[in-house]
Amino acid sequence: MPILEWLGKDEAVRTADKIPYRSLKVNTNLSYGEKTENMIIKGDNLEALQSLLPYYKGQVKCIYIDPPYNTGNAFEHYDDNLEHSTWLSLIYPRLCLLNELLAEDGFICCQIDDAEGHYLKVIMDEIFSRQNYMTTFYIQVRYPDKTLKSDMKFHKEIEQVHIYRKSRSAIPNLPTVDTAYDKYIYGIEEISQGKKIELGGKTVEIFNKNQYKVKKHLQGHKSLFKEIWASGTILDGNSSGRFFRDYLTGRYIEDGLGVLYKVYGIGDDQYGYRYFTGPQKDGATKGKYYQGVPKDKLNGNTSRELPIENHYDYSGSFGNCRLEGNADFRGGKKPEVLIKMILEYFSNENNIVLDSFLGSGTTCAVAQKMGRKYIGIEMGEHAITHCVPRMKAVIDGEQGGISKSVNWNGGGGYTFYDLGETVFDENGNINKQVDFKTLASHVWFSETKTAYINPENSPLLGIHNDTAYYLLYNGILGDKKPNGGNVLTQKVFDTLQKYEGKKVIYGEATRMNAEKLRHYNIVFKQTPYEIKAR
- Phi/psi-derived region of residue 462, left when phi > 0, alpha when psi is between -120 and 50, beta in every other case: left
* Secondary structure class of 200 (helix, strand, coil): coil
The helix (H) or strand (E) run that includes residue 502 is strand 502-507
Per-residue pLDDT reduced to its tens digit, 350-376: 999 999 999 989 999 999 999 999 999
Answer whether 200's CB lies under 8 Å from 247's CB: yes
Provide the terminal-to-terminal Cα distance of the chain, rounded to the nearest Å: 29
Q: Please, what are the domains in the chain? A: 9-171+307-421 (3.40.50.150), 179-297 (no CATH), 423-526 (no CATH)
Q: Report the C-alpha gap between 322 and 331 in whole angstroms.
A: 9
Is the per-residue pLDDT at 89 higher than 50?
yes
The predicted structure's pLDDT at residue 373: 97
Answer whether 291's CB lies under 8 Å from 274's CB: yes
383-389 CB contacts, 8 Å cutoff, 24+ apart: 383/40, 383/41, 383/42, 383/358, 384/30, 384/42, 386/327, 386/328, 386/329, 386/359, 386/360, 386/361, 387/40, 387/327, 387/358, 387/360, 387/361, 388/30, 388/32, 388/40, 388/416, 389/326, 389/327
What single DSSP character describes residue 88?
H
Kindly state the average pLDDT of the residues 185-211.
94
- The 3 state secondary structure assigned to 505-527 is EEECEECCCHHHHHHCCEEEEEC
Answer whether 150's CB lies under 8 Å from 98's CB: no
The model's confidence at residue 75, banded by pLDDT at 50, 70 and 90, is very low
Kindly state the average pLDDT of the residues 189-211.
94
Q: Report the C-alpha gap between 47 and 422 in whole angstroms.
A: 10
Q: Report the C-alpha gap between 43 and 40 in whole angstroms.
A: 10
What DSSP string runs through 6-21?
A: -TTHHHHHHHHHHSPP
What DSSP string runs through 361-412?
A: THHHHHHHHTT-EEEEEE-STHIIIIIHHHHHHHHTT--STTTTTTT-----
Predicted structure pTM score? 0.72
What mean pLDDT is reported for the chain?
A: 87
Is the per-residue pLDDT at 482 higher than 60?
no
What DSSP string runs through 298-331?
A: SSS--EEE-PPPSEEE-HHHHHH-TTGGG----S
Per-residue pLDDT reduced to its tens digit, 324-334: 766 666 556 78
Q: Report the C-alpha gap between 342 and 32 in whole angstroms.
A: 26
Kindly state the average pLDDT of the residues 224-238.
88
Answer whether 373's CB lies under 8 Å from 367's CB: yes
Answer whether 469's CB lies under 8 Å from 496's CB: no
The model's confidence at residue 150, banded by pLDDT at 50, 70 and 90, is low
Q: Report the C-alpha gap between 191 and 393 in whole angstroms.
A: 50
- The 3 state secondary structure assigned to 457-470 is CCCEEEEECCEEEE
The predicted structure's pLDDT at residue 217: 81
Answer whether 356's CB lies under 8 Å from 48's CB: yes
The model's confidence at residue 73, banded by pLDDT at 50, 70 and 90, is very low
Q: Which of 223, 203, 179 minimizes the C-alpha distance to 215?
A: 223
Q: Report the C-alpha gap between 165 and 313 in whole angstroms.
A: 24
Burial class (CB in 10 A: 0-12, 13-18, 19+), 113: middle
The model's confidence at residue 503, banded by pLDDT at 50, 70 and 90, is very high
Q: Which of 397, 396, 326, 405 minimizes the C-alpha distance to 362?
A: 326
Contacts with 24 (C-beta within 8 Å, 6 or more apart), sequence order: 39, 41, 48, 51, 52, 417, 418, 419, 420, 438
The predicted structure's pLDDT at residue 76: 43
Taken in order 123, 68, 62, 159, the sign of the CA dihedral is negative
The predicted structure's pLDDT at residue 25: 86
Q: Which of 366, 348, 373, 302 minimizes the C-alpha distance to 173?
A: 348
The model's confidence at residue 533, banded by pLDDT at 50, 70 and 90, is low
Per-residue pLDDT reduced to its tens digit, 454-467: 777 889 999 999 99
Burial class (CB in 10 A: 0-12, 13-18, 19+), 37: middle
Burial class (CB in 10 A: 0-12, 13-18, 19+), 158: middle
The helix (H) or strand (E) run that includes residue 122 is helix 117-128
